[in-house]
Amino acid sequence: MPDYDRTFHPPAPVLAVSLAHPTTGARSAPIRAKLDTGADVTVIPDAVVLELGLSPKGHLWARSFDGSYTRRPLYYAAMRAEGIELPAVRCIAAARDTALLGRNVLNRFLITLDGKNLTFTVKDT
């Protein structure tokens, strides 16, 4: 069972994931990705978009935690999480060091959060 990442306040469940360009296969080093059940879509760091050479495949309106809306470029990337390869994950990018795994990824897994013990499990469904 992985432990919550205590560098977040309060501590949060975080996985190591790697991203890849869906056609070239260029792969990023593992990055930290916080499980975010409040996010509809996964958010990846801008730096990974540049590193992998991802091209926008459209746009979507995203609502931020502060309630503001912004029109964001939409990307598709392959993702490896918990040893499972997800071939085409819909993502937006932001100026951040970590990713946010939205429900478009989280709903592909069985996830159990044990907040009392600051541990969690992620299983392929």
Query: What does the pLDDT look like over 38-94, one tens digit per residue?
Result: 999 999 999 999 999 999 999 999 988 888 999 999 999 999 988 889 999 999 999
Could you give the CA distance from residue 32 to residue 47 in angstroms, rounded to a whole number?
A: 13
Judge: domain 14-124, CATH 1.20.1070.10.
no
Q: Nearest-CA neighbor of 93 among 108, 117, 121, 74? A: 74
Residue 1 pLDDT exceeds 80: no
Could you give the CA distance from residue 68 to residue 47 in angstroms, rounded to a whole number?
A: 23
Is 120 or 82 the better-scoring residue by pLDDT?
A: 120
H or E segment to which residue 109 belongs: strand 109-114
User: Residue 47 burial (CB < 10 Å; 0-12/13-18/19+)?
Assistant: middle
Q: Can you say whether residue 81 is alpha, beta or left, with left for phi > 0 and alpha for psi between -120 and 50 degrees? A: beta
